[in-house]
Chains A and B, each alone.
Chain A
């Protein structure tokens, strides 16, 4: 029987910890902006090398010279 009581106290305190974490996360404003963080996280990886990019733009410019009268 005493095992159950210990388990009971343990489980409720763990749950209470999660509740506290939830309340804290709401209070600290983590849910205030749901749009920016998913965009922001991509930037750290998405550093594009300068050479790559200028290659691409050059091909574009070739097309352009054909088009412009």
Chain B
């Protein structure tokens, strides 16, 4: 066991977090909070402490307490029905998404749930998806109890409105079946072709015919089933009046097949069935490699994944559970601490302090008075409030924002790859060669015409190009995924390479959205004054007050009298005979405050202003290097929904050419990007919140930043782990390299094609030459694309 302690800090036995100065000691162990201790108690009682033996401090921090009736909505039948996968007279199967699952201990504990509650029959974890399939006896326990048990041991199920409305898309495995069939047929036809290639006695002519007919039989599943993958895509592109690479490939497959049939049934040759099946097999493998999907990620989330499934409604002074779609006008909703506001409404009871950072990009929470309008999407930070609904969920500001921005979905984004264009040139050249060869043989020896023309068409199918393309895309997708840069699909690689303008969001993207940098300007604070200020600020739940308490590193213990909190303004009180006030400029100095003073807090003692605290967003590490590299090649811009307090800093960070705009509404951001696009720019948008949802869709490439890749991210083309943001230039470089790697591999494979054509135009392309050229060309393409992509990624110092 490694020592989990560093310096004077004590790590919590359960979650490994710093216990601070006063750890809770119990059972000879230290805990950071009561929650962690109680999880330990539960596990200890049932003899399940193996949990701690598998990994050190495997638990999840329990500092945020869970409300006792948080899962009351699971008693509601319609909610139950939506979550149940299968139900019979005794058992219910339910799948919960458990975002806190992170290590093998978690898996062990969750799969041993039946030891904590005997009415749970079984639980099975899917680790990549962070899901648990739980089977329980519903006559003895309930879904709510199961959810509460999970929460009590630190794995709170995440249940959102999306669970109620959407069915999970089924995984399409048809390509893998096709690959299996193609592989089977290819290998067997190859075996059957060997005798003929290696020379077989004339005496055994009958055998040769048998082998050939067997090959025909085995090739049918490939032509009629495995290759349908390409038929579908070719047919689709024809319908859109666009020539993609699959069209010449389908053409070549059929030319090969028909010529082989003719040869075999007229007894003039053995055909090229082995090469044909082989190429279909390799091309399918490339397609599968390229279509790598990240099951744990969802690139199409909408607001429903962000909203809760149900909330509390007050009806005749009684609390009841109502699912979100059933919320009606004039309902009174009870919003608990840390709960999301689901519908626009008017505050009727309690003090609201609402964190809108995810919706609007404003980093400071907003205080609201009774009678004020509250928009959906914010998170209540204070204690419980009551809300009179004035707009239904589907009509609320946030929902409309979403619907407005998604009417132009990804569809319109160009999916036309340069590979398609290249394949078109290639096809014309091939046709030209075929025509010339045809003309030559028409004049000299008509009997060879058919052979030469079909052989040219067979050899020159652009499958090498398709293989280079899919294998390179697949390798690069994986390489980027290893670095937590997850692409929606392969076409995004090309889109990234074309970008010339990069737009960043500020809150949550460049900054962490938390206030960790505080500077104090003014008369130096004495130790005793620090204690007094800490006493005062400790009274308030405002995040800035909390940040000040932490910054002062003093624990206020002195008495306070006459404490008063003016919402949206500040706090004041008499601490040890001294009147201390702290708050907004207007509150302390009575002067009008500029919009950009929002992140400055003034301090007054006995009526005289003695200083101010300036809050700076804490920026993600490595931004200087990032902007230095990007500035050279790209135009940069920052669009922030926040105040312009950080303008000068951002300007020095991103260079003076960069555009910095503040107080940007979601729609402003969208329009800014539209404007850039109309000027001919290809725009990449990097953002995180719902306020960026529209612009992420509108941009040619939308990158959603995620603190934890399983939390909510708006629909986007790419999901990037926040900790990897500083690698962005390298990611773009790698995406750009994609094109020349494809070209290199293609150029090499053309050599094989030229050899093939050399034989083909003479009408002497034997099946054996084709059977050697095809795999040789494939292997060299795979080696080149795999090698070059990984070498280049290494050069960029990527994982």
Contacts and interface: CB of A to CB of B under 8 A. Distances in A.
Interface of A: 1, 4-5, 8, 11-12, 15-16, 18-19, 22-23, 26-27, 31-36, 39-40, 42-43, 46-48, 50, 53, 56-58, 60-61, 63-64, 67-69
A18 B188 CA distance: 13
A40 B107 contact: yes
Contacts of B128: 33-36
16 contacts: A1-B204, A4-B207, A5-B210, A19-B184, A26-B176, A26-B177, A26-B180, A35-B127, A36-B107, A36-B125, A40-B107, A50-B47, A53-B53, A57-B28, A60-B4, A68-B8
A1 B70 CA distance: 77
Nearest to B21: A69
A57 B181 CA distance: 56
Chain B interface residue bracket vs A: 35 or more
A1 B21 CA distance: 88
Contacts of A36: 107, 125-128
A15 B1 contact: no
Given A36-B125, A36-B127, A68 B49 contact: no
A23 B180 contact: yes
B783 interface: no
A47 to B, nearest CB: 7
B206 interface: yes
A33 to B, nearest CB: 5
Among A5, A26, A58, find the residue whose CB has the most chain B CB atoms closer than 10 A.
A26
B177 A69 contact: no
Contacts of B472: none
Nearest to A36: B127
B188 A15 contact: yes
B224 interface: no
A53 B107 contact: no
A42 B127 CA distance: 15
Contacts of B206: 1
Contacts of A60: 1, 3-4
Among A47, A56, A58, A60, find the residue whose CB has the most chain B CB atoms closer than 10 A.
A60
Given A58-B28, A69-B8, A39 B104 contact: yes
Interface of B: 1, 3-5, 8, 10, 13, 21, 23, 28-30, 47, 49-50, 52-54, 104, 107-108, 111, 125-129, 171, 173, 176-177, 180-181, 184, 187-188, 191-192, 204, 206-207, 210, 214
Nearest to B104: A39
B194 to A, nearest CB: 12
B129 A33 contact: yes
Nearest to B296: A35
Contacts of A57: 13, 28-29
Nearest to B8: A67
Nearest to B30: A64
B184 to A, nearest CB: 4
A63 B5 contact: yes
A46 to B, nearest CB: 7
A33 B127 contact: yes
A33 B125 CA distance: 9
Contact of B54 (A8, A46, A68): A46
Nearest to B187: A15
A58 B546 CA distance: 36
Given A8-B210, A33-B127, A53-B53, 20 more contacts: A8-B192, A15-B188, A16-B184, A23-B177, A26-B173, A26-B177, A32-B171, A33-B129, A35-B128, A39-B107, A39-B127, A43-B108, A48-B53, A56-B1, A60-B4, A63-B5, A67-B5, A67-B8, A68-B8, A69-B8
Contacts of B214: 8, 12
Contact of B180 (A1, A22, A40, A46): A22
Contacts of A15: 184, 187-188
Among A5, A26, A57, find the residue whose CB has the most chain B CB atoms closer than 10 A.
A57
B295 to A, nearest CB: 8
Closest 5 A/B residue pairs (Cβ): A35-B127, A36-B127, A48-B53, A19-B184, A33-B126
A12 B184 CA distance: 9
Contact of B28 (A8, A16, A27, A61): A61
Contacts of B184: 15-16, 18-19
Contacts of A32: 126, 171
A47 B187 CA distance: 46
Nearest to A42: B104
A48 to B, nearest CB: 4
A56 to B, nearest CB: 5
A34 B292 CA distance: 14
A68 to B, nearest CB: 6
A61 B29 contact: yes
Given A26-B176, A53-B49, A1 B126 contact: no
B287 to A, nearest CB: 16
Nearest to A4: B207
Contact of A64 (B5, B125, B127): B5
Nearest to B211: A8
A13 to B, nearest CB: 11
Nearest to A48: B53
B761 to A, nearest CB: 36
A57 B111 CA distance: 25
A58 B740 CA distance: 60
A12 B180 contact: no
Contact of B23 (A16, A26, A34, A68): A68
A27 B8 CA distance: 55
A56 B125 CA distance: 29
Contacts of A40: 107, 111
A1 B207 contact: yes
Contacts of B30: 64
A60 to B, nearest CB: 7
B187 to A, nearest CB: 7
Contacts of B54: 43, 46
B30 to A, nearest CB: 6
Nearest to A66: B5
Contact of A53 (B52, B177, B187): B52
Contacts of B107: 36, 39-40
A63 B176 CA distance: 55
Contacts of A8: 192, 210, 214
Contacts of A34: 128
Given A33-B129, A56-B1, A64-B10, A48 B50 contact: yes
A50 B104 contact: no
Contacts of A33: 126-129
A32 to B, nearest CB: 7
B566 to A, nearest CB: 39
B478 to A, nearest CB: 14
A2 to B, nearest CB: 10
A27 B23 contact: no
B39 to A, nearest CB: 16
Contacts of A22: 180
Among B29, B53, B173, find the residue whose CB has the most chain A CB atoms closer than 10 A.
B53
Contact of B50 (A4, A47, A56, A68): A47
